[in-house]
Every structure is written in structure tokens, then in C-alpha cells.
Amino acid sequence: MLRTIVSVRNALLKSFVPNHLGLGHVSRDNMIAQHTRPMAKEQFASGVDVTILVLGGTYLHCMYVQKSSSYIFLRRSFW
């Protein structure tokens, strides 16, 4: 069974991953044409053909800030 799993893993890494995952499987022109919305181009790039990547940091701060055990403090400090 382990041999089968290793074989499947190697086949996926050889053929599936490079063609379907990561940024290397899509060209810049394809990304602009198929994955960039006209509204985003207009708002962020004045209509110029560019690739726009929008990232959110909503959960980044959660790793460094502990939650308070005091419900009253938590309610008062929420903005």
C-alpha cells in the first residue's frame, strides 16, 4: 500500500501540480484576460492591463494577540 501511495504522489507531483497549481501554470496575459475583473482594473490601475492581487490580513493579527478571558473587556475594546 505504501508503494501505491508513493507512486500516486510522484505522478501528481510530476504531471498535475506543475500544470494546475501555483503561479507558474498561468501566464501573465492569461491572468489579466481571465482572472482580473474590469472593475478592479478601473479602480486600482486606471484601466491599464495589469495583474491585480488582493490579499487580506484579517487573521494575521490573531496569532499575536491573545483573546481576553474578560467578556466585559472584550465587548468594550471591540470597535
pLDDT of residue 4: 92
The tens place of each residue's pLDDT in the chain, 79 residues long, gives: 789 999 999 999 998 988 888 777 888 888 888 888 888 888 888 878 888 777 776 665 555 556 667 777 777 776 6
The residue assigned the cell 466585559 is 72
- Which residues constitute the domain of residue 42? 2-77
Q: For the full predicted model, state whether its pTM sits above 0.75.
A: no
Which DSSP state fits 45? H
pLDDT of residue 64: 57
User: Computed from CA positions of residues 9, 15, 17, 20, in that sequence, does the dihedral angle turn out positive or negative?
Assistant: negative
Q: Where are the alpha helices (DSSP H) in the chain?
A: 2-11, 17-20, 28-35, 38-45, 71-77
User: Computed from CA positions of residues 22, 24, 30, 32, in that sequence, does the dihedral angle turn out positive or negative?
Assistant: positive
Q: How many domains does the chain have?
A: 1
